Structure 1
Amino acid sequence: MIRHPHAGEDARRIAEAGTVLLTQVGSGVHGTAIDGQDDRDELGLCLEPVEFVAGLARVRTPGGREIGFEQYELHTAWSRSRGLAEPSGPGDLDVVVYSARKWARLALAGNPTVLLPLWVPDAEVVEVTAAGAELRAGAERFASRTAGRRFLGYLRSQRDAVAARRTRARSGGASYAAKPATHALRLGLQGLELLRTGRVTLPVPPPERERLRSVRRGEWERRDVEAWIADLEADLAAAVERSDLPERADRVWLDAWLTRSHREFWAR
């Protein structure tokens, strides 16, 4: 039995009833997926019933505990023999639906993954309501130097993963950890675009997209990958300081959206 606290039936019902936006967010939407090697990641947000916001209602977890609702998760890998210990693999589906209030907190903090549903192309939108469309239309309100710093922090985390997982070149194999290297480079490119233009283009435009895919396929020398990461890190750190974007996202606008959207949802 799945006992992850956010996988319960109570959480599923809230997510399904209140979802305002759900999109693909993984390598498929970035344009860096390699055929047969990737799972599918979806991320969204939902409005909560009034008793979970104004009252003390809680959801029951698969383990029988009662907790406040913050998100719902579905990972098809969990249905296999190892349960929660089973990592996602090619063809698996990973879904996270946050409460709108938790999503808002993460978005205000500039979380790169949480911001992606604002920018994905229409073809990658799985579900959207009028409230979700309004949120996407206001995407520029989330562009900030704070977000730029988070992109930089995520880049450095993936850079460290590359350094920690150096591999010896094998016949037909890469001499570096290809997946975190690709993530680090993508974050650098997207962070720079955000700071310079106030948005992120998805998928990554050419020619950088093909360069990222070749890194993912393990076709580069390790020193060249690490040099590109270092260049992007330096450029992104400098861009954070030079950017004309506001320091923080538009909290006043987002607060008004949350309040209005919840009230309209409850009225229905």
Structure 2
Amino acid sequence: MGGRHLLLSGIVGSTAYGLAHQDSDIDRLGLFAAPTEELHGLRPPQQSYVTTHPDRTLHEAAKWCRLALAGNPTVMELVWLPEELYEVRTEPGDELIGIRTRFLSARRVRDAYLGYAVQQFRRLEQRGDGPLSAGARTRVAKHARHLKRLCHQGYELYRTGRLTVRLDDPEAFRRFGEQVADDPEAARPLLRRFEEAFDAHPGVLPGEPDERAVEAWLRGVRRRFYGVGVGG
């Protein structure tokens, strides 16, 4: 990724949630700035880099901002990590953390987190009938844990404007995963309960995110890397 400038990176996923076990992969997420001059060329620079072994996803700053403005739960956790999980922090990265609440809006957070939770539930429904193999049971339990996590974290963000990435009681999520592996329908009441909770409470988030603040941050990044080429 020569010439790209890493602004913020940290350990996310099961390690960050407190759900990792000895065989869990370590997932990393970050964002980078492409040299500003590249944005004016015939072809735009690559917007994302995804690797395995190690598992790492990096998004260009503008793409990361667009995803975060849409309420994307995966990218959102990068700016709410516990301090010890950051591996790269720069001045622009700290500035981004400083405006993290400006990305939030009630509708987008609700739709994104509940939408991801519903996706997990659909995967549970597709597990099929009959006993599960050990591998299938592990996958079902994992989908169930993520469904419960998305509901809890999304509702916290919606109600308080803050996101706690590290789960208070990881064992409760593991138990829920095993329960749903036995009976996928056990996930339905939890999903319904959170759908009703979102509908019943207005929360504290604004109707729309503060795109002017996000734009100002992004333009500051572009100024910082103007004239810094691929070899800079």
Structure 1 counterpart of 2:34, from 48, 51, 55: 48
Within the candidate set 85, 104, 114, 2:65 is matched to 104
Query: Which residue identity is paired with 1:184?
Result: L
Change (3 A) 1:169 1:237: farther
User: Are the equivalent residues in 2 in contact too, given 1:52–1:69 (CA < 8 A)?
Assistant: no
Q: Is the 8 A contact 2:35 2:227 kept in 1?
A: no
Aligned partners of 2:114 and 2:101: how far apart in 1?
19
User: What does 1:21-40 align with in structure 2 at a 5 Å threshold?
Assistant: 21-36=8-23, 38-40=24-26
Q: Residue 161 of structure 2 contacts residue 204 of structure 2 at CA under 8 Å; is this kept in 1? A: no
Alignment partner of 1:147 out of 94, 103, 109: 109
Equivalent in the alignment of 1:137: 98
Gaps of 5+ in 2: none
Per the alignment, residue 193 of structure 1 pairs with 156
Are residues 1:164 and 2:126 paired? yes
Distance 2:138 2:34 in 1: 47
Q: Which has the higher contact order (CA 8 A, sep 6+)?
A: 2
Task: Write the mapping of 1:1-268 to structure 2, written as runs, cut at 5 A.
Answer: 12-15=1-4, 18-36=5-23, 38-53=24-39, 55-56=40-41, 58=43, 68-76=45-53, 93-145=54-106, 146-166=108-128, 168-169=130-131, 174=137, 177-206=140-169, 209-216=170-177, 218-219=178-179, 221-222=182-183, 223-239=185-201, 242-266=202-226
Cα distance in 2 between the residues matched to 1:175 and 1:257: 42
User: For the Cα contact (< 8 Å) 1:174–1:219, is it kept in 2?
Assistant: no
TM-score by length of 2: 0.86
Identical columns (%): 32
RMSD: 2.4
The Cα of 1:150 is off from its aligned counterpart by: 0.6
Q: Which runs of 5+ in 1 are unaligned?
A: 1-11, 59-66, 77-92
* 1:236–1:158 Cα change, 3 Å: farther
Contact 2:153 2:165 in 1 (8 A): no
